[in-house]
Structure 1
Amino acid sequence: MPTSILKTAIQSRDFLITAEVAPPKGGNPQHMLEQALHLKSRVHAINLTDGSRAVMRMSSLAAAILLQQHGLEPICQMACRDRNRIALQADLMGASALGIGNILALTGDPIAAGDYPKARAVFDLESVRLLQTIQKLNAGLDANDKPLPDGAVQLFAGAAIDPQLASWSSLQRRFERKIEAGAQFFQSQLIVDFDCLEKFMTQIAAPYGKPVLAGIFLLKSAKNAHFINRNVPGVTIPDWVIARLEKAADPLQEGIAIAAEQVRAAADLCQGVHMMAVRREDLIPPILDLAGIEPIAPKLL
């Protein structure tokens, strides 16, 4: 397994930066690769989404291999919506064998959110049980606690968290269960309420010492913000942000400024940021520059 930039940075307690790239909707990965290559030396690892919003795209595992071939460290997202425990374990073993060590374990968005509403959801597992399965595979056991005759896997598992969840007790219980199931890092849902993030960090996350990366999303326009409010489960862009984008002479530049402000706010509260700029990942370095975030130290690359 190649040396992990992400794992090394976590062990060194560096400020962590990850970003998200969507696999292509088709067989040509050129645009994905071009956008991802803009992130070289600016992020510790890049997430490849797994059917985000239940929209059909190339396999996250295949996309992760493509990024790895271009010298970028991937985080392969794996959702439970579309595969049963047999298929999930098969993909996890395959990822490990191919040197894809970072996995983000997700339950998955509901089928109704996507472009195949008549597809059949699986949900044989959910994120906590997927984390438990990864823990077993790392110990050389399958999900039935039977030994793996061809050896254990080597996977570094992370999980998602939403500090803005309305139910505080549910948020705490879910976070603690994911810690117990082996989550080594957390990437948050898009953060718009930094008071909630601060409360989560101080009252729930702090005692466990696991890195939490705040989700920072580049809003390109007020129209983009309204689209997210309609189509992304669990996310609400506040009216004041939308009004700021509507009044701006250049909404995209205003969106970059807002994202940079949010990066700075997150840096005071948690151990990193997870950047999202759908199909404009080339704008993530300017956001980080504006926020005063230096490129990744060469010793890690």
Structure 2
Amino acid sequence: MLNRLRSAVNAGEFLVTAEITPPKGGNPQRMLEMARLLKGRVHAVNITDGSRAVLRMTPLAASALLVQEGIEPVCQFACRDRNRIALQADLMGAHALGIRNVLALTGDPLKAGDHPDAKGVFDLESVRLLTLIRKLNQGSDWNGKALTDEPTDLFAGAAVDPQCPSWSGLQRRFERKLEAGAEFFQSQLISDFDRLGMFMDKLGNAGGKPILAGIFLLKSAKNAQFINRNVPGVQIPQHLIDRLANADDQLQEGIRIAAEQVQLAKELCQGVHLMAVRREDLIPQILDLAGVTALQPPVLNSVR
């Protein structure tokens, strides 16, 4: 079974991933249609796990559907809704279903979502989840007991926020995730590329693992203003909002801005993680405009 993302990381390629939201309901057709458009353009497709604490199909099932389509997923796992027993069970299930890439997340707070009265679990958080994944890959469970039916072979990534206002907190979390076994990092939405450059110079490059800058498609000035009001730690610059507001076609201007940001990221880090909520079909256009060509056909290397 091919693990294209891991192979690309090992080869030092410029990495491209993109995010897709699972369906709210039992019909995955739209998700699959969007994912098919990304085939051959991205190394893997992220499937979110209750992002913003909003109800969606489990990423385990959604990722398995992508595998059936020949599309490599990054299956997100958040600690918010599962204890350590459920996390281990789902991670072993992911391996059995042919899912190899996972992203370890703590999970967004429930108060931000559509079920604010639900009870959070948070038995673990992202660093300990990375440690748990490493244990499973080494053939033992969280308690150190042997896995009697073979270890997993999961390629674990983590999130990073280069725009975190606390530099000491950012450094501590980043280094702890490295120590726990993170093989790649996907960043939150980047709006300050000077800050990203500083992070790479002081921390990211020294970590020795690829950093993928989060690039978000701004669909309009109103969309950018909504993000500024509702996404903590992100501030879309006023000059971009004005640029969108003054454009004849705000969506096309947003595509141009995203392509320019991909080009900025190529000068600073090892990849990009593209987020175009409900307009994933525009991601190939962004990549074309940024000069990121289609992926070469994969070299077939088997993994467990």
TM-score, with length taken from structure 1: 0.98
Residue 44 of structure 1 and its aligned partner are, at CA, apart by 0.2
Task: Name the amino acid aligned to 1:79.
Answer: A
Asked if 1 retains the 8 angstrom alpha-carbon contact of 2:165 and 2:233, the reply is no
Distance 1:40 1:300, change over 3 A: farther
Task: Name the amino acid aligned to 1:147.
Answer: A
> 5 Å matches for 1:195-234?
195-234=194-233
* 1:159-183 Cα distance to aligned partner (Å, 9 max, x none): 0000011111111111110000000
Partner residue, 2:110: 111
Aligned to 1:299, the other structure's residue is in SS state coil
CA distance in 2, matches of 1:56, 1:96: 24
Residue 40 of structure 1 and its aligned partner are, at CA, apart by 0.7
* 1:239-295 Cα distance to aligned partner (Å, 9 max, x none): 222121111110000000000000000000000000000111110001000000110
Partner residue, 2:73: 74
Residue 108 of structure 1 and its aligned partner are, at CA, apart by 0.6
| Deviating more after overlay: 164-173 vs 266-275 | 164-173
Partner residue, 1:294: 293
Partner residue, 2:187: 188
| Deviating more after overlay: 19-28 vs 242-251 | 242-251
CA distance in 1, matches of 2:299, 2:15: 12
Asked if 1 retains the 8 angstrom alpha-carbon contact of 2:186 and 2:211, the reply is yes
Partner residue, 2:26: 27
Asked if 2 retains the 8 angstrom alpha-carbon contact of 1:53 and 1:232, the reply is no
CA distance in 1, matches of 2:109, 2:225: 20
| Deviating more after overlay: 291-300 vs 254-263 | 291-300
Task: Name the amino acid aligned to 2:135.
Answer: K
* 1:24-68 Cα distance to aligned partner (Å, 9 max, x none): 011111111111111011000000000000000000010001111
Residue 146 of structure 1 and its aligned partner are, at CA, apart by 1.4
Partner residue, 1:156: 155
RMSD: 1.1
* 1:138-171 Cα distance to aligned partner (Å, 9 max, x none): 1111111111122211100000000011111111
> 5 Å matches for 1:120-269?
120-269=119-268
CA distance in 2, matches of 1:140, 1:220: 46
CA distance in 2, matches of 1:20, 1:250: 24
Asked if 1 retains the 8 angstrom alpha-carbon contact of 2:4 and 2:298, the reply is no
CA distance in 2, matches of 1:244, 1:34: 31
Task: Name the amino acid aligned to 1:105.
Answer: A
CA distance in 2, matches of 1:74, 1:247: 37
Aligned to 1:298, the other structure's residue is in SS state coil
1:102 aligns to 2:101 (yes or no)? yes
Partner residue, 1:10: 9
CA distance in 2, matches of 1:209, 1:145: 28
Partner residue, 2:57: 58
Aligned to 1:186, the other structure's residue is in SS state strand
Task: Name the amino acid aligned to 2:196.
Answer: L
CA distance in 2, matches of 1:71, 1:228: 33
* 1:110-146 Cα distance to aligned partner (Å, 9 max, x none): 1111111111111111000000000101111111111
CA distance in 2, matches of 1:81, 1:100: 21
Asked if 2 retains the 8 angstrom alpha-carbon contact of 1:109 and 1:233, the reply is no
Partner residue, 2:88: 89
CA distance in 2, matches of 1:30, 1:85: 32
Q: Following superposition, which runs of at least 4 residues in structure 1 exceed 4 angstroms of deviation?
A: none
Task: Name the amino acid aligned to 2:141.
Answer: D
1:273 aligns to 2:272 (yes or no)? yes
Residue 15 of structure 1 and its aligned partner are, at CA, apart by 0.4
Aligned to 2:188, the other structure's residue is in SS state strand
Aligned to 2:159, the other structure's residue is in SS state strand
CA distance in 2, matches of 1:102, 1:79: 14
Structure 2 unaligned regions, length at least 5: none
Residue 230 of structure 1 and its aligned partner are, at CA, apart by 3.0
CA distance in 2, matches of 1:299, 1:110: 39
Aligned to 1:89, the other structure's residue is in SS state helix
Task: Name the amino acid aligned to 1:44.
Answer: H
Task: Name the amino acid aligned to 1:132.
Answer: T
Asked if 2 retains the 8 angstrom alpha-carbon contact of 1:113 and 1:231, the reply is no
Structure 1 unaligned regions, length at least 5: none
Partner residue, 2:283: 284
Residue 300 of structure 1 and its aligned partner are, at CA, apart by 4.6
